[in-house]
Structure 1
Amino acid sequence: MKKPLISIIIPVYNVEKYLSRCLNSVISQDYKNIEVILVDDGSTDNSLKICNNYCQRFNFIKVFSKRNEGLSSARNYGIKQAEGSFLMFIDSDDYVSRTFCSAALNNQKKYNSDIVIFDYNRVTTKSQTHSFNHKQGIVNKKDAMQYLINNSYAWNKLYRRKIFTNIEYPIGKYYEDEFTTYKLFEKSRIISYVKNSSYNYVETGESIVSSKNSRIIADQFESVYTFFDFLKKHYYSVYSKNLNTLIIKALRYCTFCPPSYNNLLFKKAKNVLLENSVSNDLAFKYKFTMLMFKLSPTLALQIFKLQKLRRKEQVK
């Protein structure tokens, strides 16, 4: 029986410093029936040259070059080019172990799953493994949705390709995984987990999580709000258990994005803060800010504005 083809999709944009390490880890896979789809998203450094060099050396590597439209566009393009019955994703500044494909596929065959979750290592100055607190095997939808609260990443999963039908990553959005992964999980018939930390997520110091950029903060809140709106309707126990996550993102949005930036999104964030009680589990700074907002949104926004001005002065 012919082994199934796995399409590994790697978006590439200005990563000449990390790309060879990533590709060397992919060509070392112990599972050989793979195709590697490199989508160069308009790189201005030597990334495309490196991609073409590997393509010339290995016949299972395909290179596509397109104008710069962001990570979502590159992933969507790669999915359309993929010929495999299963998909996996790697960010081009990360790298994987030899069993990246084989461990996930063996688990998929055992449980006939549509998605396989596996562990990952967060690589900084000190590597740390992030494990799913679940026994190996089939994962029910409720536990899977709980897992996504902090692990919506595209890259530590294997997907049956057909579940991407009519689902795409949102063009022009940050936090594209949070907008998308829960839809794939909901569409899946069977989700399984293999205890194998074969993915190495490298923190390069260029993370968007701590950014004060209004567009990034707005996309972060919108992605979380959209996911939680879905949870509220379909998995209420997961929604209520993790409500503080939504509250913190709403506070962050109201702090850094004025109403004029996106009035509809601001109203959603404001309603999250006004309609929910202040949890004892919240850190003091969030409790204080939320209470202040409940007492007087106008005054709270003025204080937020002064805080932002002070931060700018400190940077100067």
Structure 2
Amino acid sequence: MRYPPISIVVPIYNVEQYLDRCMQSLVNQTYKDIEIILVNDGSTDTSASICDKYEKVDRRVQVIHKLNGGLSDARNYGLRVAKGEYVLFVDSDDYIELDACEKLCNVLKDASSNAPDLIIGIARKIHNDKVSYLIHKGSENYALLTGSEYMLKELKTESLHMAVWLNLYRNEFLKKNELDFKVGLLHEDEQFTPRVLLKAEKVLCTDIIFYNYVIRDSSITRSRDLSINGLHIIQTCYELASLYEQVDDTELKKLLNNNLVTKYLSAIKTGGLYRKKYKSSIDTKFMYSRVHSKKNLSQLLLLSCSRRLFSRLYRILSERQNS
């Protein structure tokens, strides 16, 4: 069995406190045939010098210094220079298990003739002293599926995760299908992952816990005013709606559209878009035309009747969840 080389793409912006932890998890991988591409996206702290330090002592490390263009732009830079047969994305404030690449490679039985487009793993979610897991519930481990089959199974069990770092990607597959990240978009994974899965012909789901997702209260997606985050998710919903119109499978299309309603409602809640000044940004007709679950329909009806009650209920549920 031949083991493929892996490119690890790490976008970096002002993470001097966390970068060494991330880098130690990469340079000390038990699987050695890797290249580590560090894309310094215009950091203003000491992140750039930390990157250069690792490049000097490890020939597998390549550093790209660029003007700030955002997370998507940094990932695209890394993708363009990646030479590995497979690509793994790691956020610079997270870290992976030391045997992550080895375990992911071990599931490739025949990397030359039956190479999966995606290998999907499990992430450990860490927030202060709380630990949970991002797992898939609908798909059988180590069974080869199409991306559409995988989405259908995971949507049925409400366990379809969009995080880009949950997957190992075949580089040629990404390049052939021109699958990159939309620049300037927050929550870019929400737009990237469905496009990838709908193109994928071979998806291999695993039970490998390899990624450690560390939630920082100061991160981009946890800033105090999340209105821009919500508006970007709504923008993504409109873009995905056009893509989903091309899906032939009736059941999958129904579940994908309902998932758009879930995302849209979540954007309204987390972004505080139920406030009066965002009224023109909310298209309830878009949601009514795609809703299929009773849960989403009840929330949509409440939103239509009273934004105040909708927001109050959301705050009550959030407080209970965090207590």
Question: What's the TM-score bracket when you normalise by the shorter of the two chains?
Answer: 0.7 to 0.9
Match 1:112 to one of 89, 109, 115? 115
* Aligned-partner residue type, residue 144 of structure 1: Y
The equivalent of 1:132 in structure 2 is 136
**CA displacement at 1:210 relative to structure 2:** 7.2
1:176 to 2:188 alignment: yes
Q: Secondary structure at the match of 2:209?
A: strand
The equivalent of 2:65 in structure 1 is 65
1:158 to 2:168 alignment: yes
Match 2:151 to one of 145, 157, 162? 145
Deviations 1:135-163 (A, max 9, x none): 21123434422548741111111111012
1:205 to 2:208 alignment: no
**CA displacement at 1:183 relative to structure 2:** 1.3
CA distance in 1, matches of 2:78, 2:134: 27
Task: Answer with 132-141 or 75-84: which moved more.
Answer: 132-141
CA distance in 1, matches of 2:84, 2:226: 38
Count residues with an aligned counterpart.
Answer: 292
CA distance in 1, matches of 2:100, 2:291: 44
1:224 to 2:237 alignment: yes
CA distance in 1, matches of 2:256, 2:35: 38
Contact 1:121 1:199 in 2 (8 A): yes
TM-score normalised per structure 2: 0.80
The correspondence of residues 1-316 of structure 1 with structure 2, limited to 5 A, is 3-109=3-109, 112-124=115-127, 125-133=129-137, 134-137=139-142, 138-146=144-152, 147=154, 150-165=160-175, 166-207=178-219, 208=221, 212-231=225-244, 233-234=246-247, 235-239=252-256, 242=259, 244-249=261-266, 251-252=268-269, 254-256=273-275, 258=277, 266=281, 269-275=283-289, 280-282=294-296, 287-292=301-306
**CA displacement at 1:271 relative to structure 2:** 1.8
**CA displacement at 1:283 relative to structure 2:** 9.4
Q: CA RMSD in A?
A: 3.0
Q: Secondary structure at the match of 1:215?
A: helix
TM-score normalised per structure 1: 0.81
Contact 2:10 2:92 in 1 (8 A): yes
**CA displacement at 1:28 relative to structure 2:** 1.5
Gaps of 5+ in 2: 313-323
Contact 1:247 1:272 in 2 (8 A): no
